[in-house]
Structure 1
Amino acid sequence: MRVMIADDAVLFREGLARVLTEAGFEVAAQAGDAGSLLAHVLRDPPDAVIVDIRMPPTHTAEGLDAARTLRERHPSVGVLVLSAHVEPHFALQLIESGAHGAGYLLKERVADLGELTDAVRRVAAGGLVVDPSVVAQLVGRKRTRSPLDELTERERDVLEVMAEGRSNQAISQRLYLSPKTVEAYVRSVFTKLGLQPGADDNRRVLAVLTYLRG
Protein backbone atom coordinates (compact mmCIF):
# COMPACT_ATOMS: atom_id res chain seq x y z
CA MET A 1 0.00 0.00 0.00
CA ARG A 2 1.35 3.44 -0.98
CA VAL A 3 1.13 6.33 1.48
CA MET A 4 2.27 9.95 1.63
CA ILE A 5 3.11 11.85 4.81
CA ALA A 6 2.85 15.59 5.52
CA ASP A 7 4.21 17.07 8.75
CA ASP A 8 6.50 20.05 9.27
CA ALA A 9 8.32 18.32 12.14
CA VAL A 10 11.11 16.56 10.25
CA LEU A 11 12.03 14.08 12.99
CA PHE A 12 8.41 13.03 13.52
CA ARG A 13 7.85 12.72 9.76
CA GLU A 14 10.99 10.65 9.23
CA GLY A 15 10.18 8.44 12.20
CA LEU A 16 6.66 7.85 10.94
CA ALA A 17 7.98 7.01 7.47
CA ARG A 18 10.42 4.54 8.97
CA VAL A 19 7.88 2.63 11.06
CA LEU A 20 5.42 2.49 8.17
CA THR A 21 8.11 1.18 5.82
CA GLU A 22 9.05 -1.48 8.34
CA ALA A 23 5.37 -2.42 8.58
CA GLY A 24 5.26 -3.08 4.83
CA PHE A 25 3.94 0.23 3.47
CA GLU A 26 5.56 2.11 0.60
CA VAL A 27 6.11 5.76 1.59
CA ALA A 28 5.77 7.38 -1.83
CA ALA A 29 6.46 10.96 -0.71
CA GLN A 30 7.00 13.23 2.29
CA ALA A 31 6.07 16.90 2.59
CA GLY A 32 6.62 19.68 5.10
CA ASP A 33 3.53 21.70 4.19
CA ALA A 34 0.05 21.21 2.77
CA GLY A 35 0.84 22.72 -0.64
CA SER A 36 3.66 20.27 -1.26
CA LEU A 37 1.45 17.37 -0.23
CA LEU A 38 -1.29 18.38 -2.67
CA ALA A 39 1.29 18.66 -5.45
CA HIS A 40 2.64 15.17 -4.73
CA VAL A 41 -0.87 13.68 -4.73
CA LEU A 42 -1.75 15.44 -7.98
CA ARG A 43 1.31 13.94 -9.70
CA ASP A 44 0.92 10.41 -8.40
CA PRO A 45 -2.09 9.68 -6.14
CA PRO A 46 -1.34 7.19 -3.34
CA ASP A 47 -3.75 4.90 -1.51
CA ALA A 48 -3.73 7.13 1.57
CA VAL A 49 -2.16 10.24 3.05
CA ILE A 50 -1.29 11.03 6.66
CA VAL A 51 -1.34 14.74 7.42
CA ASP A 52 -0.73 16.81 10.54
CA ILE A 53 -3.63 19.13 11.32
CA ARG A 54 -1.39 22.15 12.04
CA MET A 55 1.24 23.08 9.47
CA PRO A 56 2.91 26.18 7.96
CA PRO A 57 2.34 29.00 7.41
CA THR A 58 -0.20 29.71 10.18
CA HIS A 59 -0.12 26.41 12.10
CA THR A 60 -3.90 26.50 12.55
CA ALA A 61 -5.82 24.06 10.35
CA GLU A 62 -3.83 23.75 7.12
CA GLY A 63 -3.88 19.96 7.37
CA LEU A 64 -7.65 19.92 7.72
CA ASP A 65 -8.02 22.24 4.72
CA ALA A 66 -5.74 19.94 2.71
CA ALA A 67 -7.84 16.96 3.76
CA ARG A 68 -11.00 18.68 2.48
CA THR A 69 -9.29 19.49 -0.82
CA LEU A 70 -8.14 15.89 -1.21
CA ARG A 71 -11.66 14.61 -0.47
CA GLU A 72 -12.97 16.83 -3.30
CA ARG A 73 -10.24 16.27 -5.89
CA HIS A 74 -9.14 12.72 -5.09
CA PRO A 75 -12.06 10.91 -3.43
CA SER A 76 -10.34 7.53 -3.79
CA VAL A 77 -7.41 8.64 -1.60
CA GLY A 78 -7.90 7.90 2.10
CA VAL A 79 -7.03 10.76 4.45
CA LEU A 80 -5.84 10.29 8.02
CA VAL A 81 -5.43 13.53 9.97
CA LEU A 82 -3.14 13.52 13.02
CA SER A 83 -3.54 15.94 15.91
CA ALA A 84 -1.47 16.51 19.04
CA HIS A 85 -4.58 17.39 21.04
CA VAL A 86 -8.21 16.26 21.34
CA GLU A 87 -10.12 18.75 19.17
CA PRO A 88 -13.60 17.28 18.57
CA HIS A 89 -14.82 20.15 16.38
CA PHE A 90 -12.04 19.45 13.87
CA ALA A 91 -12.92 15.74 13.86
CA LEU A 92 -16.55 16.55 13.07
CA GLN A 93 -15.56 18.96 10.29
CA LEU A 94 -13.38 16.30 8.68
CA ILE A 95 -16.05 13.61 8.84
CA GLU A 96 -18.76 15.91 7.53
CA SER A 97 -16.57 17.06 4.63
CA GLY A 98 -15.90 13.50 3.49
CA ALA A 99 -18.13 10.78 4.91
CA HIS A 100 -15.85 7.94 3.81
CA GLY A 101 -12.15 7.27 3.59
CA ALA A 102 -11.42 9.76 6.38
CA GLY A 103 -9.94 9.55 9.85
CA TYR A 104 -8.87 11.64 12.84
CA LEU A 105 -6.27 10.19 15.18
CA LEU A 106 -4.23 11.58 18.06
CA LYS A 107 -0.48 11.61 17.48
CA GLU A 108 0.04 9.60 20.64
CA ARG A 109 -1.57 6.64 18.85
CA VAL A 110 1.42 6.52 16.50
CA ALA A 111 3.29 4.77 19.30
CA ASP A 112 0.91 1.83 18.84
CA LEU A 113 1.98 0.53 15.44
CA GLY A 114 -0.94 -1.86 15.19
CA GLU A 115 -3.49 0.88 15.78
CA LEU A 116 -1.78 3.25 13.36
CA THR A 117 -1.47 0.75 10.51
CA ASP A 118 -5.05 -0.42 11.07
CA ALA A 119 -6.27 3.19 10.80
CA VAL A 120 -4.30 3.80 7.59
CA ARG A 121 -5.65 0.63 6.00
CA ARG A 122 -9.21 1.44 7.00
CA VAL A 123 -9.23 4.95 5.53
CA ALA A 124 -7.55 3.63 2.36
CA ALA A 125 -10.39 1.11 2.07
CA GLY A 126 -12.98 3.88 2.37
CA GLY A 127 -13.66 3.47 6.08
CA LEU A 128 -14.19 6.01 8.82
CA VAL A 129 -11.79 6.30 11.79
CA VAL A 130 -12.34 8.48 14.86
CA ASP A 131 -9.95 8.44 17.81
CA PRO A 132 -11.60 6.87 20.88
CA SER A 133 -10.60 9.90 23.00
CA VAL A 134 -12.51 12.19 20.66
CA VAL A 135 -15.54 9.91 20.74
CA ALA A 136 -15.45 9.89 24.55
CA GLN A 137 -15.27 13.68 24.78
CA LEU A 138 -18.11 14.19 22.33
CA VAL A 139 -20.28 11.64 24.08
CA GLY A 140 -19.62 13.33 27.43
CA ARG A 141 -21.19 16.61 26.36
CA LYS A 142 -24.52 17.68 27.79
CA ARG A 143 -27.33 17.12 25.35
CA THR A 144 -30.89 18.23 24.85
CA ARG A 145 -33.48 15.65 23.86
CA SER A 146 -32.32 13.66 20.84
CA PRO A 147 -33.09 10.41 18.96
CA LEU A 148 -30.20 8.84 20.87
CA ASP A 149 -32.35 8.88 23.99
CA GLU A 150 -34.43 6.10 22.43
CA LEU A 151 -31.48 3.70 22.36
CA THR A 152 -30.96 1.07 25.02
CA GLU A 153 -27.69 1.00 26.93
CA ARG A 154 -26.43 -1.92 24.84
CA GLU A 155 -27.41 -0.21 21.58
CA ARG A 156 -25.43 2.83 22.69
CA ASP A 157 -22.46 0.58 23.45
CA VAL A 158 -22.65 -0.81 19.92
CA LEU A 159 -22.97 2.67 18.40
CA GLU A 160 -20.03 3.97 20.45
CA VAL A 161 -17.72 1.30 19.04
CA MET A 162 -19.18 1.88 15.57
CA ALA A 163 -18.26 5.57 15.98
CA GLU A 164 -14.60 4.56 16.10
CA GLY A 165 -15.02 3.18 12.60
CA ARG A 166 -15.11 -0.46 13.65
CA SER A 167 -16.78 -3.25 11.66
CA ASN A 168 -19.50 -5.52 13.02
CA GLN A 169 -16.86 -8.20 13.56
CA ALA A 170 -14.75 -5.81 15.62
CA ILE A 171 -17.81 -4.74 17.63
CA SER A 172 -18.57 -8.40 18.27
CA GLN A 173 -15.06 -8.98 19.62
CA ARG A 174 -14.98 -5.78 21.71
CA LEU A 175 -18.37 -6.32 23.39
CA TYR A 176 -18.25 -10.13 23.53
CA LEU A 177 -21.42 -10.48 21.46
CA SER A 178 -22.20 -12.91 18.68
CA PRO A 179 -22.11 -11.54 15.11
CA LYS A 180 -25.87 -12.10 14.73
CA THR A 181 -26.57 -10.22 17.95
CA VAL A 182 -24.46 -7.29 16.76
CA GLU A 183 -26.32 -7.26 13.44
CA ALA A 184 -29.61 -7.12 15.32
CA TYR A 185 -28.43 -4.23 17.49
CA VAL A 186 -27.14 -2.33 14.45
CA ARG A 187 -30.48 -2.75 12.65
CA SER A 188 -32.29 -1.53 15.76
CA VAL A 189 -30.02 1.52 15.97
CA PHE A 190 -30.74 2.40 12.34
CA THR A 191 -34.47 2.07 12.94
CA LYS A 192 -34.53 4.16 16.12
CA LEU A 193 -32.45 6.91 14.52
CA GLY A 194 -34.87 7.05 11.60
CA LEU A 195 -32.35 5.94 8.99
CA GLN A 196 -34.26 4.56 6.05
CA PRO A 197 -33.23 1.27 4.38
CA GLY A 198 -30.37 1.74 1.95
CA ALA A 199 -26.65 1.12 1.70
CA ASP A 200 -25.44 0.00 5.13
CA ASP A 201 -22.18 1.93 4.74
CA ASN A 202 -24.09 5.18 4.31
CA ARG A 203 -26.39 4.43 7.24
CA ARG A 204 -23.40 3.66 9.45
CA VAL A 205 -21.87 7.04 8.66
CA LEU A 206 -25.16 8.85 9.30
CA ALA A 207 -25.60 6.98 12.57
CA VAL A 208 -22.08 7.91 13.66
CA LEU A 209 -22.62 11.59 12.78
CA THR A 210 -25.85 11.60 14.79
CA TYR A 211 -24.01 10.07 17.70
CA LEU A 212 -21.04 12.45 17.61
CA ARG A 213 -23.16 15.56 17.18
CA GLY A 214 -25.39 14.48 20.07
Structure 2
Amino acid sequence: MRVVLAEDGDLLRAGVLALLEGHDDIEVVAAATSLPELLAAVDEHRPDVVLTDIRMPPDLTDEGIRAAGELRRTHPGVGVVALTQYSDVEYALDLVREGSDGRGYLLKERVADVDELVTALRTVAAGGSVIDQLVVDSLVAGGARRADSVLDRLTPRELEVLGMVARGMTNAAIADQLAVTDRAVEKHVGSILTKLDLPADAPVHRRVAATLVFLSEAGVGGIALG
Protein backbone atom coordinates (compact mmCIF):
# COMPACT_ATOMS: atom_id res chain seq x y z
CA MET A 1 0.00 0.00 0.00
CA ARG A 2 1.49 3.32 -1.11
CA VAL A 3 0.85 6.25 1.23
CA VAL A 4 1.36 10.00 0.96
CA LEU A 5 1.58 11.64 4.39
CA ALA A 6 0.65 15.32 4.84
CA GLU A 7 1.44 16.80 8.26
CA ASP A 8 3.16 20.11 9.01
CA GLY A 9 4.11 19.21 12.59
CA ASP A 10 7.68 17.88 12.56
CA LEU A 11 7.35 15.59 15.58
CA LEU A 12 4.03 14.03 14.59
CA ARG A 13 5.16 13.60 10.98
CA ALA A 14 8.34 11.83 12.09
CA GLY A 15 6.39 9.67 14.53
CA VAL A 16 3.82 8.57 11.96
CA LEU A 17 6.57 7.85 9.42
CA ALA A 18 8.38 5.64 11.92
CA LEU A 19 5.18 3.76 12.79
CA LEU A 20 4.13 3.14 9.19
CA GLU A 21 7.61 2.15 8.05
CA GLY A 22 7.45 -0.66 10.60
CA HIS A 23 4.94 -2.41 8.31
CA ASP A 24 6.58 -4.24 5.40
CA ASP A 25 3.52 -3.90 3.18
CA ILE A 26 3.29 -0.11 3.58
CA GLU A 27 5.45 2.35 1.68
CA VAL A 28 5.32 6.07 2.49
CA VAL A 29 6.19 7.45 -0.93
CA ALA A 30 6.14 11.16 0.03
CA ALA A 31 5.71 13.46 3.02
CA ALA A 32 4.12 16.89 2.51
CA THR A 33 3.77 19.86 4.85
CA SER A 34 1.18 21.95 2.97
CA LEU A 35 -1.82 21.63 0.67
CA PRO A 36 0.12 22.47 -2.53
CA GLU A 37 2.84 19.95 -1.61
CA LEU A 38 0.20 17.29 -0.92
CA LEU A 39 -1.54 17.71 -4.27
CA ALA A 40 1.79 17.73 -6.10
CA ALA A 41 2.89 14.55 -4.30
CA VAL A 42 -0.31 12.74 -5.30
CA ASP A 43 0.16 13.82 -8.92
CA GLU A 44 3.72 12.51 -8.90
CA HIS A 45 3.43 9.29 -6.89
CA ARG A 46 -0.19 8.14 -7.44
CA PRO A 47 -0.59 6.59 -3.97
CA ASP A 48 -3.31 4.22 -2.80
CA VAL A 49 -4.22 6.46 0.13
CA VAL A 50 -3.42 9.87 1.63
CA LEU A 51 -3.07 10.38 5.38
CA THR A 52 -3.50 14.10 5.98
CA ASP A 53 -3.89 16.61 8.75
CA ILE A 54 -7.02 18.71 8.35
CA ARG A 55 -5.32 21.98 9.27
CA MET A 56 -2.00 22.80 7.61
CA PRO A 57 -0.41 25.58 5.55
CA PRO A 58 -1.12 27.80 3.81
CA ASP A 59 -4.17 28.84 5.89
CA LEU A 60 -4.32 26.30 8.76
CA THR A 61 -8.09 25.92 8.34
CA ASP A 62 -9.54 22.97 6.39
CA GLU A 63 -6.83 22.12 3.86
CA GLY A 64 -7.20 18.37 4.41
CA ILE A 65 -10.91 18.51 3.64
CA ARG A 66 -10.27 20.64 0.55
CA ALA A 67 -7.61 18.19 -0.58
CA ALA A 68 -10.09 15.32 -0.27
CA GLY A 69 -12.60 17.20 -2.42
CA GLU A 70 -9.99 18.03 -5.05
CA LEU A 71 -8.71 14.46 -5.16
CA ARG A 72 -12.27 13.15 -5.56
CA ARG A 73 -12.28 14.99 -8.89
CA THR A 74 -8.66 14.53 -10.05
CA HIS A 75 -7.71 11.15 -8.54
CA PRO A 76 -10.98 9.38 -7.65
CA GLY A 77 -9.22 6.12 -6.85
CA VAL A 78 -7.05 7.62 -4.10
CA GLY A 79 -8.40 7.17 -0.58
CA VAL A 80 -8.10 9.94 2.02
CA VAL A 81 -7.88 9.59 5.80
CA ALA A 82 -8.13 12.97 7.54
CA LEU A 83 -6.61 13.46 10.99
CA THR A 84 -7.74 16.07 13.49
CA GLN A 85 -7.50 16.81 17.21
CA TYR A 86 -11.17 17.85 17.31
CA SER A 87 -14.34 15.74 16.96
CA ASP A 88 -15.85 18.28 14.58
CA VAL A 89 -18.92 16.82 12.89
CA GLU A 90 -19.03 19.59 10.28
CA TYR A 91 -15.61 18.52 9.00
CA ALA A 92 -16.74 14.89 8.95
CA LEU A 93 -19.83 15.81 6.95
CA ASP A 94 -17.79 17.92 4.51
CA LEU A 95 -15.35 15.05 4.03
CA VAL A 96 -18.04 12.64 2.82
CA ARG A 97 -20.44 15.10 1.23
CA GLU A 98 -19.64 13.78 -2.26
CA GLY A 99 -19.57 10.15 -1.12
CA SER A 100 -18.19 8.18 1.82
CA ASP A 101 -16.32 5.61 -0.27
CA GLY A 102 -12.58 5.86 0.21
CA ARG A 103 -12.82 8.43 3.01
CA GLY A 104 -11.89 8.30 6.70
CA TYR A 105 -12.02 10.74 9.62
CA LEU A 106 -9.85 9.95 12.65
CA LEU A 107 -8.75 11.76 15.77
CA LYS A 108 -4.99 12.27 16.05
CA GLU A 109 -4.87 10.24 19.24
CA ARG A 110 -5.50 7.18 17.06
CA VAL A 111 -1.93 7.54 15.78
CA ALA A 112 -0.76 6.02 19.08
CA ASP A 113 -2.57 2.78 18.13
CA VAL A 114 -0.73 1.85 14.96
CA ASP A 115 -2.88 -1.22 14.32
CA GLU A 116 -6.05 0.87 14.35
CA LEU A 117 -4.45 3.50 12.12
CA VAL A 118 -3.22 0.91 9.63
CA THR A 119 -6.61 -0.82 9.60
CA ALA A 120 -8.26 2.52 8.78
CA LEU A 121 -5.76 3.16 5.97
CA ARG A 122 -6.36 -0.27 4.49
CA THR A 123 -10.13 0.07 4.76
CA VAL A 124 -10.11 3.45 3.01
CA ALA A 125 -7.57 2.35 0.38
CA ALA A 126 -9.93 -0.52 -0.48
CA GLY A 127 -12.81 1.94 -0.98
CA GLY A 128 -14.40 1.66 2.46
CA SER A 129 -15.14 4.41 4.96
CA VAL A 130 -14.18 5.06 8.57
CA ILE A 131 -15.64 7.56 11.05
CA ASP A 132 -13.81 7.75 14.39
CA GLN A 133 -15.89 6.06 17.07
CA LEU A 134 -15.14 8.82 19.59
CA VAL A 135 -16.66 11.35 17.19
CA VAL A 136 -19.84 9.30 17.11
CA ASP A 137 -19.89 8.50 20.83
CA SER A 138 -19.30 12.08 22.00
CA LEU A 139 -22.30 13.29 20.03
CA VAL A 140 -24.54 10.33 20.79
CA ALA A 141 -23.86 10.87 24.49
CA GLY A 142 -24.72 14.56 24.20
CA GLY A 143 -28.35 13.84 23.45
CA ALA A 144 -29.12 17.37 22.21
CA ARG A 145 -30.35 18.18 18.74
CA ARG A 146 -31.49 21.09 16.66
CA ALA A 147 -34.96 22.56 16.85
CA ASP A 148 -37.27 21.14 14.15
CA SER A 149 -34.80 18.29 13.69
CA VAL A 150 -35.45 15.67 11.03
CA LEU A 151 -34.91 13.18 13.86
CA ASP A 152 -38.27 14.25 15.28
CA ARG A 153 -39.82 12.07 12.58
CA LEU A 154 -38.55 8.98 14.37
CA THR A 155 -40.18 7.09 17.21
CA PRO A 156 -38.20 6.75 20.48
CA ARG A 157 -37.29 3.16 19.58
CA GLU A 158 -36.21 4.17 16.07
CA LEU A 159 -34.03 6.93 17.53
CA GLU A 160 -32.47 4.37 19.88
CA VAL A 161 -31.77 2.04 16.96
CA LEU A 162 -30.29 4.89 14.90
CA GLY A 163 -27.95 5.73 17.76
CA MET A 164 -26.72 2.13 17.68
CA VAL A 165 -26.31 2.26 13.89
CA ALA A 166 -24.26 5.44 14.39
CA ARG A 167 -22.00 3.54 16.78
CA GLY A 168 -21.31 1.01 14.01
CA MET A 169 -23.37 -1.84 15.45
CA THR A 170 -24.68 -4.51 13.09
CA ASN A 171 -28.34 -5.49 12.98
CA ALA A 172 -27.49 -8.69 14.86
CA ALA A 173 -25.70 -6.77 17.61
CA ILE A 174 -28.60 -4.32 17.90
CA ALA A 175 -31.08 -7.20 18.12
CA ASP A 176 -29.03 -8.77 20.90
CA GLN A 177 -28.78 -5.46 22.77
CA LEU A 178 -32.53 -4.79 22.57
CA ALA A 179 -33.56 -8.44 23.05
CA VAL A 180 -35.59 -8.45 19.82
CA THR A 181 -35.38 -10.43 16.59
CA ASP A 182 -33.11 -9.55 13.67
CA ARG A 183 -36.26 -9.08 11.59
CA ALA A 184 -37.56 -6.46 14.03
CA VAL A 185 -34.30 -4.52 13.72
CA GLU A 186 -34.44 -4.75 9.92
CA LYS A 187 -37.92 -3.23 10.00
CA HIS A 188 -36.77 -0.42 12.29
CA VAL A 189 -33.75 0.36 10.09
CA GLY A 190 -35.90 0.33 6.96
CA SER A 191 -38.37 2.71 8.55
CA ILE A 192 -35.54 5.01 9.71
CA LEU A 193 -34.00 5.21 6.24
CA THR A 194 -37.39 5.96 4.69
CA LYS A 195 -38.25 8.68 7.23
CA LEU A 196 -34.84 10.32 6.75
CA ASP A 197 -35.47 10.49 2.98
CA LEU A 198 -32.41 8.41 2.10
CA PRO A 199 -32.98 6.92 -1.36
CA ALA A 200 -31.46 3.58 -2.28
CA ASP A 201 -29.26 5.26 -4.94
CA ALA A 202 -27.82 7.90 -2.59
CA PRO A 203 -24.10 8.58 -3.26
CA VAL A 204 -23.35 7.83 0.40
CA HIS A 205 -24.11 4.29 1.65
CA ARG A 206 -27.52 4.52 3.36
CA ARG A 207 -26.35 3.38 6.83
CA VAL A 208 -23.41 5.79 6.65
CA ALA A 209 -25.78 8.52 5.46
CA ALA A 210 -28.13 7.80 8.37
CA THR A 211 -25.18 8.06 10.75
CA LEU A 212 -24.19 11.41 9.27
CA VAL A 213 -27.75 12.72 9.58
CA PHE A 214 -27.72 11.63 13.21
CA LEU A 215 -24.38 13.34 13.85
CA SER A 216 -25.36 16.57 12.12
CA GLU A 217 -28.62 16.79 14.08
CA ALA A 218 -27.19 15.62 17.40
CA GLY A 219 -24.66 18.43 17.66
CA VAL A 220 -22.48 20.77 15.62
CA GLY A 221 -19.13 22.45 15.98
CA GLY A 222 -15.84 21.19 17.35
CA ILE A 223 -15.57 19.41 20.66
CA ALA A 224 -12.01 19.69 21.95
CA LEU A 225 -10.70 16.37 23.20
CA GLY A 226 -7.46 17.66 24.60
Q: TM-score range by the shorter chain?
A: 0.7 to 0.9
Conserved? CA contact 1:78–1:123, under 8 Å: yes
Change (3 A) 1:179 1:34: farther
Separation in structure 1 between the aligned mates of residue 191 and residue 115 of structure 2, nearest angstrom: 31
Question: Which residue is equivalent to 1:195?
Answer: 198
Number of residue pairs aligned between Structure 1 and Structure 2: 208
Structure 1: gaps of 5 or more residues: none
Conserved? CA contact 1:82–1:107, under 8 Å: yes
Q: How does 1:1-214 map to 2 (within 5 A)?
A: 1-23=1-23, 24-139=25-140, 140=142, 141-149=144-152, 150-151=154-155, 152=157, 154-162=160-168, 168=170, 172=172, 186-198=189-201, 202-214=205-217
Change (3 A) 1:200 1:39: closer
Separation in structure 2 between the aligned mates of residue 92 and residue 200 of structure 1, nearest angstrom: 13
- The 3-state SS of whatever aligns with 1:75 is coil
Conserved? CA contact 2:161–2:188, under 8 Å: yes
Larger Rg: 2
Instruction: Give the TM-score normalised by structure 1.
Output: 0.81
Of the structure 1 ranges 200-209 and 61-70, higher mean CA displacement relative to structure 2 is found in: 200-209
- The 3-state SS of whatever aligns with 2:106 is strand
Separation in structure 2 between the aligned mates of residue 27 and residue 179 of structure 1, nearest angstrom: 46
Q: C-alpha displacement at 1:196, in angstroms?
A: 3.6
Identity %: 43
- The 3-state SS of whatever aligns with 1:14 is helix
Change (3 A) 1:107 1:122: same
Separation in structure 2 between the aligned mates of residue 159 and residue 194 of structure 1, nearest angstrom: 16
What letter is aligned with 1:160? A
Using CA pairs below 8 Å that are at least 6 residues apart, which structure has the higher relative contact order?
2
Conserved? CA contact 1:138–1:213, under 8 Å: no
Conserved? CA contact 2:161–2:174, under 8 Å: no
Instruction: Give the TM-score normalised by structure 2.
Output: 0.77
Conserved? CA contact 1:119–1:129, under 8 Å: yes
Q: C-alpha displacement at 1:39, in angstroms?
A: 0.8
